[in-house]
Every structure is written in C-alpha cells, then in structure tokens.
Structure 1
Amino acid sequence: MDGLTSIMDLSDDCLSIIFKWLDCSRDRESFGLTCRRWLNIQNLNRRSLQFECSFSILNPQTLAQTSLEINSDHLYRLLFRFQNLEYLSLSGCTKLLDSGLTHLLAYGSSLQTLCLDCCFQITDNGLSPVAIGCPSLVVVSLYRCNITDVGLEILANACLALKHVNLSWCLRISDLGLGTLSQRCRQLQAIKISNCSNVSGVGFRGCSQTLVYVDAECCNLGPEGIREIVSGGGVEFLNISGLNWLHGNEMAAIGNGFAARLTILNLRMCRSIGDESIIAISKGCPLLQEWNLALCHGVRFPGWESIGSNCHNLEKLHVSRCRNLCDRGLQALRDGCRRLSVLYMLRNIKLSDTAVELFKLYRSDVRIKGEEEMFIGPDWTA
C-alpha cells in the first residue's frame, strides 16, 4: 500500500495537461473546486476574460444599465489571478481610468487581443503601459475611446505584430496617426475607422500588401485618400459608404489596378458617384462578389450595363432606392451577372412592374429581397 500513488502526486505540469484535455466546459469549470492547488492550475490555464457588459456596447441604454465600475484594484486582482490571458475585453467599463491599465506591465505579456470599446476615460496615457506590457498584441479595439495620434504612435512603435485595429468613432485621430500605424505595423490586415471625421485616407500611403479589410464608413475621404487606401494592392473588403461629396469619376481609382482582389465593396449612400467610376470599378475588380449601390442616384444606364457585362463573379447586388435604375438597366443586370443569387431591390421609382416580372421570369435563380439587410461583411477579427 505504501507504494501506491494518487492523482495528487502528479506534478502541476501533468495536471495542466489533464485540464487542457477536458473537452466539457462543465468539467473545466468544476476543476478548480477540488482544492486550492487545482484552482491555481485552472486560473493559470485560463486564456480569455470578458465581462457581461461587453456584449451590449452597441446599445447605449443597455450599456448604461450594465456598465461595470471596474477600477485599478479590481483589474489588478483579476490579472494576478489569471496571469496567462491571451484575450481580455474591458469593453463597456466606462469608469476604467488610465491607471488601471498599468497592471498590464506585469501581466500582459501573453495578451494577444485587447478590447477597450466604450472605455471613455482611457486616453493616450493609458496606451503607454499597453504598448510596453503587451508586445504580443495582435488585435486591439478602441471604439469610442478618447485617443489621439499620439496614442496611435505609441502603439505602432511598440506593437509591431498588430493585425486588426478598431478605431471607429475615435474622433481625435487623423491621417498622421494612421500613417504611423500603416508604416510601422507591416502585418496589418484589418482596420476600422468609421466615423473618424478627421481622416481623409492619405495616411494609408505606402500601406502593406497584407491590408485586406478597410471599414471607412462616413469618413472625410477624398480621391487621393481612396487611392492610398487601395495602394497596397491587397484590399478585399472595402466599406466607404456615406460619401456624398465625391462626383463623376473620383472613385475610378478603385478600378485602376490596385483593387483587383476586391470581393466586397460597399458604396451605399454615395449618392453622387457617376457612371465613369462604376465602369472603371466593374472592369478593374473582376473578383467582386458583393456590391452595395443602394441610394447611389448617380448611377445610370451605362453604369448598370457595365456591371452586367463585366461583373461575372457578382453574387449579391444592392440597388434599393437607386432613382436612376430604369427598365433597360435592370435588363442589363438580368442578361449579365450570371452568378447573381440575391438582388436587394426596393423603391426603385423608374422600374416598371413589367420589367421586374420579366427579371423574375428569366432569372428565377435570383432571389429578390425587398427588405435590405444590414451590410456587415465578414468577421474582421477572423
């Protein structure tokens, strides 16, 4: 009997291997209830931490009800307990101060994803310990944070492995900060800058070929900025919806060679885009699979005809409330776009009932949806 051993005689490394092999979440959660030693092993093997309020940040009313008053002491205790976190979301912790992030200096070395969405008190000062303490950071989300170009420079100079960055509604950033980010982080794959009114797009000059996802809805983009966004040649997803001040062929740069890999393009509410741009894009982006042209009133028959003739891989097309989509334009789409499977079409005042019925008759393979779906695109963190 003296020679017998029990599971308690196993080393911590062996117990960690056993814990990792547990495929039942209930078993993993119960593992730490055995004793303090097993609880410590469970804590050290935890890789992600997310608070309940993180799930509700897109609803301001829900956010106000569920916000957690996480302070520096709370965060210290959490990071001390879970020392090998790879994913940490503090999104919705609206009272968190810059000082709370200083604990990442000691416990952020394994962190790859950090979400600070709606952490309204976080400023450039809080990004300094993030940059120093989290050298392995790959994904950072700063949605609605009060950071400036200074904070972006701090991150870009230290976190060279960054691939996905969310800066939507960061109203104080500009092309200067984006320029530093795109020049220093040469592995950058996805960036969100929606509603950043000080961004014209020129900060993307010289961006890496790895950049495949750009969400720049409602920015102050100009023709030069659009050219720079696609200048790396790797962009596959591009959302520049809400540009009402561009005219004629000012978006033609998208179709002039650098965006040949583009598969999803959102130009919703670009009301003044003209046929010249549409023709250039339809010819220069042969891989397009989804194109949102809802509320693009400047597109007329030559534009629709070019889409039908050149967009051979197009599967989804949004044309809702396009005032100048006429019967001839719909026929051009009907006779072309052989891979089209879904057409979002609603309130097109120039279309006759006859043209619509003929489309349905000849293209029974295409679903016509009257209600436009929210244009989301692929998961930018995937």
Structure 2
Amino acid sequence: MSKLGDDELSLILNWVNDRNDRKSFSEVCKHWLRVEGLARSSIRVFELDRLPHLLSRFPNLVTFETSEFITDTDLAILARKCPRIEVVNFAIKRPRLVDSDNFDGQSSYHDVGDEGLIALANGCPKLSKVSMRRRKNIGNAGVLSLLESAKCLTNLDFGWCSLVSDEALEAIGSANSITVLNLLGCSLITDRGLAWLSNGSSSKTIKKLVLAECDRITDCGVTLLQRMSGLEELNLAECGPKITDIGGVAIAAIQSLKRLNLSWLVNVSDPTLVALAENCPVLANVEGDTI
C-alpha cells in the first residue's frame, strides 16, 4: 500500500461514494487522509472555530455550505484557501418558535456583510450559485462586487437581505447568465428595480424570479415583467394591494410561464385568470389564496 501514489489512491477513492466509507478511507493513514482531503469537492460546516485548518485540508472544494453565523474574515479565508469554489450556500434557516425581530437582531451584529462578500467575489471568480438568504448585513456593495468579479453566475438568492435595493438590481439586470433570482422579502425593491431587470440582458436569461413580499412594487413595475420572454416561474405572493388585475393581465403576455404564485394579492381577480388561461399555453400551476 505504501507504494501507491496520490493518483492511484484518487482513482480508488473515486469509486467510494458512501460518506462513511470515505471517512474510513481517510483514517487508514496520514497519506490517505491527505489524498481524501485533496479529492473532497463539497463540505457542510457546522462549527467554524477551526475553519482555517479545515480549509487547508480541503483546498479543492467546489461547494461550501454553512447556516451558522460567519464573519467577513471567515469568507476572506475561504476565498484565499479555496479559489475553485463555485457554489456557496450561506442561507440561514429561521428557527421555529423564535420571534422574528429578535432573531434578526441576533443574527446581524457579527454576521457576514458586504466586506466578506467582496472578498469572496474577488477570490473565487468561478462562482455560479450564491445563497445569502437572511444575511442581514449584505447590501448593494457586495452584490455589485459579486456581479463584477464572477461572470458565470446562474443562481442568486438574496431572500430577506433587507439592505438589497434597486441599485443591486441594476447590476443584476446587466448580467447575461443568471437563470434563478430570489429576492424574497427585499422590501427596498421598487418598480425602478424591476425596470432594470426587465430592460437588461438578464431579461432574456432569467427563468425563475421570486419577488414575494416585495411590497413596494406596483402594477407599473409588474407590467414591465412581460419583457422577460423566457420566464417560467414567477412568485408575487404577498406583494400588497398595489398589484391589481392591470399587472395580472400584463403578466399573461409571458407565454413561457409554467408556475405563477399570486397568493394574497387581494386586488387580483377573474380578469387575470381569464387572461392567463387564454395566453399562457404551458402554465401548469397557479397559486392564489384570494382569487
């Protein structure tokens, strides 16, 4: 066994898919431990205290996940140690039975912000999927840096990033590779931001758009979304009373729509449903609690 080189051990490891078996492989000896670390492409971290040591062992990571509070310094270390990263998921799941306001306050003080996202963007140009959901310190500066440095972005999730506004949507609208955009609960977004999305390059690439609980948008902005000719899934749930059948009928011009969520839009009614039925041939699912 001592004569086996890194290449041979890597070939053997490629046939080991079970997580526990790969762990056993790494425990044979220091050589096997090192090879397993070099071959690891994804990791989910629950404790960040030993992050620098951990990342030194796994320099070829492509996917990194954690739902724990993480600092700007941590992201700078991740970018420096693992420049091949393509997928990062930092989404925080809201704990059950926890007051929303208290949870948000606790999570934001020491949590990652624009400085960390900028470091990640500068160090990991191959990023394609980024989720920063519920990271309350993420704002426009971080989003702009991400769009400037990472040219292969396909999936962006800034749900409940309450500092993200129309300025970020201007940069996103200019991108030409994004297919999934989640802006759930980004309450600073207005019709102006939707105009940037609808008139930019991304209007031809975005297939899934989540605007649920963006309660500043109105019929004027929603009407512009009909320019997104490839849109397949649109979520406008709980966007408020300023969206009416005027916006709903305009959306029906998007013939590529397959899924549409209009839940709790109290001023959307039968005219919208009729227009959707007449103009959206591939529409398979419409959600709407009040229509």
What is residue 214 of structure 2 aligned with on the other side? Answer: 270
CA displacement at 1:306 relative to structure 2: 2.5
The answer to whether the aligner puts 1:256 opposite 2:206 as a matched pair is no
Q: 2:161, 2:7 → 1: CA distance?
A: 50
The one-character-per-residue Cα deviations of 1:146-182 (angstroms, maximum 9, x if unpaired) are 2233333433333333333333333334323333333
State the distance in 2 between where 1:304 and 1:295 align: 14
Which residue number corresponds to residue 157 of structure 1?
122
Q: Which residue in 2 is equivalent to 1:362?
A: none
1:16 corresponds in structure 2 to 9
TM-score scaled by length of structure 1: 0.59
Q: Distance in 2 between matches of 1:229 and 1:30?
A: 40
Query: Does 1:126 find its partner at 2:91?
Result: no
CA contact (8 A) 2:91 2:131 kept: yes
1:210-225 aligned within 5 A:
221-222=165-166, 224-225=167-168
SS of the equivalent of 2:88 reads strand
Residue pair 2:180, 2:206 contacting (<8 A) in 1 also: yes
Cα distance in 2 for residues equivalent to 1:125 and 1:244: 28
**How many angstroms does 1:250 deviate by?**
6.0
Three-state SS of the structure 2 residue aligned to 1:251 is helix
- Residue 312 (structure 1) aligned with residue 250 (structure 2): no
Specify which structure has the bigger relative contact order, considering alpha-carbon pairs within 8 angstroms and separated by 6 or more residues: 2
Aligned to 1:209: none
Which residues of structure 1 form unaligned runs of 5+?
A: 1-7, 47-81, 200-220, 349-382
**What is the match of residue 103 of structure 1?**
53
User: CA 1:235 to 1:45, structure 2 compared with 1: closer, same or farther past 3 Å?
Assistant: same
Aligned residue for 2:160? Answer: 195
1:331 equivalent to 2:274? Answer yes
CA contact (8 A) 2:172 2:197 kept: no
1:290 aligns with 2:290: no
Which amino acid is the alignment partner of residue 149 of structure 2? R
| Partner residue, 1:322 | 265
Give the distance between the partners of 1:86 and 1:250, measured in 2 at CA. Answer: 36
Q: Are 1:182 and 2:154 matched, yes or no? A: no
Larger Rg: 1
1:85 maps onto 2:40 in alignment: yes
Counterpart position of 1:229: 172
Q: What is the one-letter code of the residue matched to 2:71? A: T
- Counterpart amino acid of residue 158 in structure 2: I
Letter paired with 1:311 = I
Residue 32 of structure 1: how far off its partner (Å): 5.0
Query: What is the one-letter code of the residue matched to 1:138?
Result: E
Question: What TM-score comes out, normalization by structure 2 length?
Answer: 0.74
Aligned AA for 1:156?
A: A
Q: 1:154 to 1:330 in 2, by over 3 A?
A: closer
Secondary structure at 2:67 match in 1: coil
Contact 2:255/2:281, CA 8 A, preserved across alignment: yes
Taking the aligned partners of 1:148 and 1:26, their CA distance within structure 2 comes to 33
Output the CA distance in 1 between the equivalents of 2:255 and 2:80. 48
Counterpart CA distance in 2 for 1:290 and 1:329 is 16
Cα 1:45–1:228 change in 2 (3 A) is same
User: Which amino acid letter does the alignment assign opposite residue 12 of structure 2?
Assistant: F
1-structure distance, mates of 2:121, 2:87: 12
Please state how far the C-alpha of 1:11 moved relative to its aligned partner.
Answer: 3.9
Asked if the contact 2:62–2:84 (Cα under 8 Å) also holds between the matched residues in 1, the reply is yes
